[in-house]
Amino acid sequence: MAFRNKKQSGLVAVLNKIDILWDEMKKPSEVLASIEEQRKTSASMLGIDPSNVYPVSAQKALLAKTKKDDQLLKQSNLLSLESLLANEILPTKQQMIWESVVEGLNQSINNTYNPIAGQLQDINKQLEQLEALRGKNENVVQQLLQKAKEQKVAYYESVKNFQASRRRLATQAKVMFNTLGMDAIDVIIDKTRHDMSGSWTTNGMKNGMMLFFESSREAMQIAERHSDEIHKLIEGIYKKFHDEHGLKSHVAPKFNIQPHIAELDQLAIKAEEFRNSPISTMAEQSFVVKKFFISLVSHVRNTFGNANREADAWLKELINPLVIQIQEKRTSIDKYMATLNKIKESKNNLDGQLKQLNVEASQLEKQAEALEGMRKTLQNCTPPS
């Protein structure tokens, strides 16, 4: 059994059934030396430090707890494993879940806050320009209106380019899902089943198991590279609208596929154990293939399914905030032009338009303050002990 632990910087492995090395004909020091040798060998196979391999005897631990034999319980080494789980693994897992929840809430707050902050920025700028119209002649209003028209044309051109970028984004996303999608993993699964079932030798069948995990991992890595390309494209779009039209900058998160790759690695370790077990060598071919697919391949398929759903959600979360800001900006430009046209018709409309904009600004400020309060509360929160 193996699992990952942040604090221990990598993989932690449990080496069970060490009681088979308890030879009463040997000295205790010799028994310990044999266990240590197995520990080092396991660590070498997994590429981890020997201190991260925990040799235990679950059967002897159960017997010790039943008979209340403290010496046997200590010898089983289960207490050190329980200490690791209680003091490091579980708290680390809780911290990871906490950080994930906080990050998700913070992202939701930002996605709501940015369009509001953008609208407030536009309205304050408009208020400043309209306040400056007091006592000015109609030519000044006409100049502002002309400037707003030019801004609208430039903005609509950017929106047109954005639609072209969305098409490129859709193409890139399709390529990513072609390697991460269920159809892709099913092709790998079908090929593995065909190769293993048609193999004439045990080694050929075992190589089929190894190639399956290599192909699965490679597919995940290819999908990761495509997700990075999507992320770069989105960042470029955000930067363009920020630089040219003042949209609020947005830190677009990358798609984190590493947990799914790590899960594949865990399954690959189990597959290696299965490959080297007596069952895969001695049992009938059909039984070995069936057991491999039920116990391991099905889990790989689930991993791809989870990664696929997360990638789809990530893609929507990546583009939706920008779409909302673009729409809000377009609405703001249209409303400002309508305001200027009313003022152009009659200077008497100026005070009414200023009053209306001030009301809108006040409402937006309250919403922004509420969201800022939520953000500060979230930052000050600590995970439950």
DSSP letter for each residue of 86-123: IIIIHHHHHHHHHHHHHHHHHHHHHHHHHHHHHHHHHH
Its pTM surpasses 0.85: no
Residue found under tokens 């779409």: 323
Shortest CA distance to 133 belongs to which of 122, 125, 144, 123?
A: 144
Measured CA to CA, the distance from residue 84 to residue 90 in angstroms comes to 9
Q: What are phi and psi of 255, to 5 degrees?
A: -80, 120
Number of helices (H), then strands (E), belonging to the chain: the values are 13, 3
In the chain, the amino acid numbered 326 is: I
- The pLDDT value recorded for residue 347 is 67
Question: Could you read off the pLDDT of 354-375 as tens digits, one per residue?
Answer: 888 888 888 888 888 888 888 7
Burial (CB < 10 A; 0-12, 13-18, 19+), residue 126, is buried
Q: How many CA atoms are closer than 13 Å to the CA of 328, on its beta-carbon side?
A: 24
Please name the residues in contact with 375: beta carbons below 8 A apart, sequence gap of 6 or more: 106, 109, 113
- Rounded mean pLDDT, 306-318: 87
User: Which tokens is 58 given?
Assistant: 């679950």
Mean pLDDT of 234-252: 79
Q: How far apart, in whole angstroms, are the C-alpha atoms of residue 157 and residue 240?
A: 12
User: Considering the chain, what percentage of its residues have pLDDT values greater than 90?
Assistant: 8
| pLDDT for residue 249 | 67
Pick the range with the lowest mean pLDDT from 13-17, 257-261, 314-318, 369-373.
13-17
- To the nearest 10 degrees (0 to 180), the angle between helices 298-345 and 202-245 is 10
H/E stretch holding 2 reads: strand 2-5
The pair phi, psi for residue 261, each rounded to 5°, is -65, -40
Q: What is the pLDDT of residues 265-281, one digit of tens each?
A: 888 888 888 878 777 77
Question: At residue 380, does pLDDT exceed 90?
Answer: no
Number of Cβ atoms within 10 Å of the Cβ of 83: 11
* pLDDT at residue 97 is higher than 80: no
SS3 350: helix
Residues 235 and 242: beta-carbon distance below 8 Å: no
pLDDT score at 216: 92
Task: Tell which residue, 209, 211, 210, 206, has the closest CA to residue 282.
Answer: 206
**pLDDT value for 330:** 86
| Least confident residue range of 84-88, 120-124, 164-168 | 84-88
Least confidently predicted of 40-54, 148-162, 223-237, 277-291: 40-54
Pull the structure tokens for residue 136: 């000015």
Res 222: pLDDT: 92
Q: What is the CA radius of gyration of the chain?
A: 31
Quick one: which of 255, 265, 273, 275 has its CA closest to 299?
Answer: 265
Return phi, psi of residue 41, to 5°: -65, -45
C-alpha of 62 from chain center: 39
Lookup result for tokens 């673009």: 326
Confidence at residue 218, expressed as pLDDT on a 0 to 100 scale: 92
Mean pLDDT of the chain: 80
**Which of these, 313, 315, 159, 310, lies nearest to 230 by C-alpha position?**
315
Residues in the chain: 385
Structure tokens at 333: 């430009």
pLDDT tier for residue 24 given thresholds of 50, 70 and 90: low
% pLDDT > 70, the chain: 91
Of 214, 218, 234, 231, which is closest to residue 180 (Cα–Cα)? 218
The residue among 119, 155, 172 whose CA lies nearest residue 328 is: 119
Retrieve residue 335's tokens. Answer: 């409303």
3 state SS of 5:
strand
Decide if 230 contacts 314 (C-beta within 8 A). Answer: no
pLDDT at 2: 42
